[in-house]
């Protein structure tokens, strides 16, 4: 047996890392350090094997080979080539390399993977006379390079393939729940302990049965890794087959020792979902543990047990046919839980947290969870009299009489009286009425529309040092007084938590409700969405900047990079632009931009919408030379979208982006560069040969004067 301590990394979905940490401790890991999406730890080879075999929440298990200097691609190549790869490769072993992350030296993941492969192959050719063959599918050794800042982490991927794939899913429905996300929800909600106490589990909206099957695998003491016939370590030279087989035999004996008990119950109103659950349960070998039937939520009957867990992931809009049915569905679920399941625990995983208010139950805990790219909330409930909520009218009346709520309401009314006449004079239907004016109420409140106003509330996420209960109190105070203070029905108040976004998070879909509204700005019309995304589709602080683009655009060829929903393109087209090209990586937002053009009668072949990585698109256009008179460059602060190569950091990369954009600008043209990064500093030295005019102060609208750093904006030209 190999007793040497090694360094490991196990990745997990966001929201599952703390559960993974508990698992690793049980496997014998030491020096465990948890982050949002992975856990670093130390342990023997046996600990690594146990993690691959038994972890229900891990996505991948990586054996660390150490940190490398990544300040240049040459440094990475040299460091990799110095490793004695004969310790990892047997003669004839195949190889695959993957890279994630990036920096200025390694901008593309494909380049990073190629660099890694070349260094390994060159080393082995020099030391053994032969180089390994590359096998993209199921290689003997899979190497992983993760570039982050000036460092890179080199690892052997022990898992080989994502561990969340258990192999039982024959069908997954429209919005399948990842297996390791389901397992993390069950473990966090206490299902293993409830089972040991003789309790039951019920999923009344079981979909394709992922919660039921994962719960059964836990009850059976079944190791998830036993179903995998491929792991990344099996062709690795350090692999100990006898040790691995001993652990697998131990796992087989543990599973065989469990006597089946039909303690896992499921139902769904959709007969197709019931059919999928039965098929998947049979594939997973858990049919003796699971009972499922067709039944709507109203007809669900509590099983004869004092101990139990109700766990469910309510269906999305397309599964029930209409967004308008979701509040009623949540309300019916809440009534059933309150009336029939007192004494039990409940766990609701929702992709639309505001809908959970319809449950009428206070959650004891809430956890952020990512299922793929969809951000969800896991809400955990103690089902008893104390957890039942009063009516919304009673709650609003109670909170609204609090001094803090009254002060907040007074400030709202004062701001509205000051800004509303200005908005009418300027023909502005959408404006910010409050922006953290009172520091203890860190919210941004925007009004949209004129006749049927909508209120969009963004709470700036409180730091971890702020007591979460106090933050929750302020949130309830704010939401209690907003409708009356602004004169809108509660149903037209939409809230989100605003926090620093990474990658393309700000553009990622939160829900799939399809609820859209038309608003007006500057005599133009735009589609906005208050429910499905973190942002509405119209950045209000860019209002004056868009007007400048319209003023400059007449008879110009206009380029809009990172175009989002195309509002700047609409302004340029309305200003008489001869042509426009709008580039973005998202089909969703390009479709949105097209619909905005149609809404204003501005669509046509002269306005091109291009789905591309903007950085790659710029590179591809360079041979064509200057072709635009006006360019709007508004990149995200940071992006590592899976569909982009490399990582974009606006502070680090702005000079390169500006230079490449200017290569497409005609001599007398303007480049308008904008960023919402509050700590941004333009590298004036690197751009000293250009004309640069900081127009930030001139582009801050009246309703954003309290936050002068909301964005930075520069007009840049060729000398």
Both tokens of 177, joined, read 């729940």
Q: Which two tokens stand for residue 228?
A: 């995998």
pLDDT, position 511: 43
The pLDDT value recorded for residue 187 is 97
Contact predicate 155/62, CB 8 Å: yes
E strand or H helix that includes residue 718: strand 712-718
Q: How many CB atoms lie within 10 A of CB 211?
A: 31
pTM attached to this predicted model? 0.59
d(CA 259, CA 278): 20
Structural domains of the chain ordered from first start:
6-157 (3.30.2130.30), 179-220+260-389 (3.40.50.150), 393-499 (3.30.750.80), 517-718 (3.40.50.150)
Buried b (16+ CB within 10 A) or exposed e, 571-593: bbbbbebebbbbbbbbeebbebb
| Rounded CA separation 537/566 (Å) | 9
Residues whose CB falls within 8 Å of the CB of residue 296, separated by 6 or more in sequence, listed in order = 269
Judged by DSSP in three states, 459 sits in strand
- 520 to 429, 453, 574: CA distances (angstroms): 6, 12, 14
- With a cut of 70, list the residues of the chain below it in pLDDT: 1-3, 172-175, 316-324, 389-401, 451, 462-469, 498-515, 640-646
Question: Which residues does residue 649 pair with via DSSP β-bridges, in sequence order?
Answer: 638
- Largest Cα span, the chain: 81
Instruction: Please give the distance of CA 104 from its chain centroid, rounded to a whole number.
Output: 24
Helices (H) and strands (E) in the chain, counts: 19, 29
Cβ-in-10-Å burial (0-12, 13-18, 19+) of 155 comes to buried
| Residue of 245, 222, 286, 283 lying closest to 56 (CA atoms) | 222
Residue 585, classed as helix, strand or coil, is coil
State how far the Cα of 165 lies from the Cα of 476, in Å rounded to an integer: 40
User: Given this model, what pLDDT does residue 322 score?
Assistant: 39
pLDDT at 356: 85
pLDDT of residue 496: 78
- 456: which 2 tokens? 């969009």
The structure tokens 């389901």 sit at: 182
Burial profile 225-257: b = 16 or more Cβ within 10 angstroms, e = fewer:
bbebeebbbbbbeebeeeebeebeeebeeeeee
SS3 566: coil
Note the pLDDT tens digit of each residue in 667-719.
Answer: 999 999 999 998 999 999 999 999 999 999 999 999 999 888 899 999 999 98
pLDDT score recorded for residue 184? 97
**DSSP per position, 352-396:** -GGGGGGG-B--SEEEEEEETTEEEEEEEEE-SGGGB---HHHHH
Q: What is the DSSP letter of 299?
A: G
Q: How far apart are CA 674 and CA 413, in angstroms?
A: 32
Partners of residue 388 on adjacent β-strands: 361
Q: Cα–Cα distance between 632 and 475 in angstroms, integer?
A: 37
- What is the CB neighbour count within 10 angstroms for residue 423? 18
446: β partners = 432, 456
Strands (E), 77-234: 95-102, 141-148, 151-157, 200-203
The answer to whether the CB of 214 falls within 8 A of the CB of 182 is yes
Instruction: Please tell me the predicted confidence (pLDDT) of residue 504.
Output: 41
Q: Which residue has the tokens 């992975």?
A: 38
Q: What pLDDT, on a 0 to 100 scale, did the predictor assign at position 640? A: 65
Enumerate residues 6+ apart whose C-beta is below 8 A from 445: 412, 432, 433, 434, 435, 455, 456, 457, 458, 482, 486
Give the single-character DSSP code of 470: H
CA distance 638 to 152: 19
CA-angle at 477, arms to 475 and 483, nearest 5°: 100
**pLDDT score of 398:** 55
């Amino acid at each position: 047996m190999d007793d040497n301590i090694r360094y490991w990394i196990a990745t997990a979905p966001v929201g599952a890392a703390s559960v993974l940490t508990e698992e690793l401790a049980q496997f014998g890991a030491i020096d465990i350090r948890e982050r949002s999406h992975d856990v670093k730890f130390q342990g023997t080879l046996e600990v690594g094997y146990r993690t691959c075999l038994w972890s229900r929440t891990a996505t991948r298990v990586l054996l660390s080979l150490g940190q490398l200097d990544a300040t240049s691609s040459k440094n990475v190549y040299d460091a990799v080539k110095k490793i004695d790869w004969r310790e990892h490769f047997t003669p004839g072993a195949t190889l695959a390399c993957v890279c994630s992350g990036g920096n200025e030296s390694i901008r593309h993941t494909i380049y990073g993977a190629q660099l890694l492969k070349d260094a390994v192959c060159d080393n082995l050719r020099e030391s053994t006379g032969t180089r390994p063959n590359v096998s993209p599918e199921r290689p003997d050794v899979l190497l992983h390079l993760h570039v982050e800042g000036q460092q890179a982490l080199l690892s052997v991927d022990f898992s080989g393939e994502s561990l969340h794939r258990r192999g039982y899913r024959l069908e997954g429905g429209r919005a399948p729940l990842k297996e390791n996300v389901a397992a993390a929800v069950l473990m966090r909600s206490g299902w293993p302990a409830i089972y040991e106490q003789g309790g039951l589990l019920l999923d009344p909206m079981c979909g394709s049965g992922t919660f039921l099957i994962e719960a059964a695998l836990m009850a059976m003491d079944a190791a998830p890794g036993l179903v995998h016939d491929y792991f990344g370590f099996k062709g690795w030279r350090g692999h100990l087959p006898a040790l691995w087989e001993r652990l697998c035999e131990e796992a087989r004996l543990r599973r065989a020792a469990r006597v089946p008990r039909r303690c896992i119950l499921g139902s769904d109103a959709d007969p197709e979902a019931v059919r999928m659950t039965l098929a998947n349960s049979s594939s997973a070998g858990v049919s003796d543990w699971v009972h499922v039937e067709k039944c709507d939520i109203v007809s669900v009957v509590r099983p004869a047990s004092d101990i139990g867990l109700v766990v469910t992931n309510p269906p999305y809009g397309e599964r029930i046919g209409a967004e308008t049915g979701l509040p009623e569905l949540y309300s019916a679920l809440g009534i059933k839980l309150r009336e029939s399941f007192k004494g039990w625990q409940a766990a609701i995983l929702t992709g639309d947290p505001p809908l959970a208010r319809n449950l009428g139950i206070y959650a004891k805990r809430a956890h952020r969870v990512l299922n793929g790219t969809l951000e969800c909330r896991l809400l955990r409930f103690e089902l008893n009299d104390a957890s039942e909520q009063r009516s919304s009218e009673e709650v609003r009346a109670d909170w609204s009489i609090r001094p803090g709520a009254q002060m907040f309401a007074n400030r709202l009314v004062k701001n509205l009286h000051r800004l509303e006449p200005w908005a009418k004079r300027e023909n502005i239907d959408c404006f910010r009425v409050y922006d953290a004016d009172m520091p203890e109420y860190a919210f941004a409140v925007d009004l949209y529309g004129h006749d049927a106003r909508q209120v969009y509330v963004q709470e700036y996420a409180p730091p971890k040092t702020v007591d979460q209960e106090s933050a929750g109190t302020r949130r309830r105070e704010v939401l209690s007084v907003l409708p009356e203070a602004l004169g809108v029905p509660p149903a037209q108040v939409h809230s989100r938590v605003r926090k620093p976004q990474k990658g393309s998070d700000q553009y990622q879909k939160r829900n799939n409700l399809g609820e859209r509204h038309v608003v007006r700005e500057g005599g133009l019309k735009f589609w906005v969405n208050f429910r499905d995304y973190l942002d509405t589709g119209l950045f209000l602080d860019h209002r004056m900047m868009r007007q400048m683009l319209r003023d400059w655009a007449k008879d110009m060829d206009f380029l809009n990079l990172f175009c989002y929903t195309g509002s700047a393109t609409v302004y340029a087209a309305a200003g008489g632009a001869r042509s426009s090209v709008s580039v973005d990586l998202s089909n969703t937002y390009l479709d949105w931009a097209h619909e905005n053009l149609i809404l204003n009668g501005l669509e046509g072949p002269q306005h091109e919408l291009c789905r591309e990585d903007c950085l790659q698109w710029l590179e591809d256009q360079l041979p064509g030379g200057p072709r635009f008179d006006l360019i709007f460059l508004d990149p995200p602060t940071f992006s590592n979208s899976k569909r982009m190569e490399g990582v974009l950091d606006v502070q680090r990369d702005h000079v390169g982006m500006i230079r490449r954009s200017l290569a497409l600008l005609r001599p007398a043209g303007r480049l308008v560069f904008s960023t919402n990064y509050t700590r941004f500093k333009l590298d004036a030295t690197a751009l000293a040969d250009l004309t640069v005019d900081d127009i930030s102060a001139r582009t801050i609208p009246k309703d954003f004067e309290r936050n002068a750093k909301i964005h930075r904006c520069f007009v840049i030209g060729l000398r």
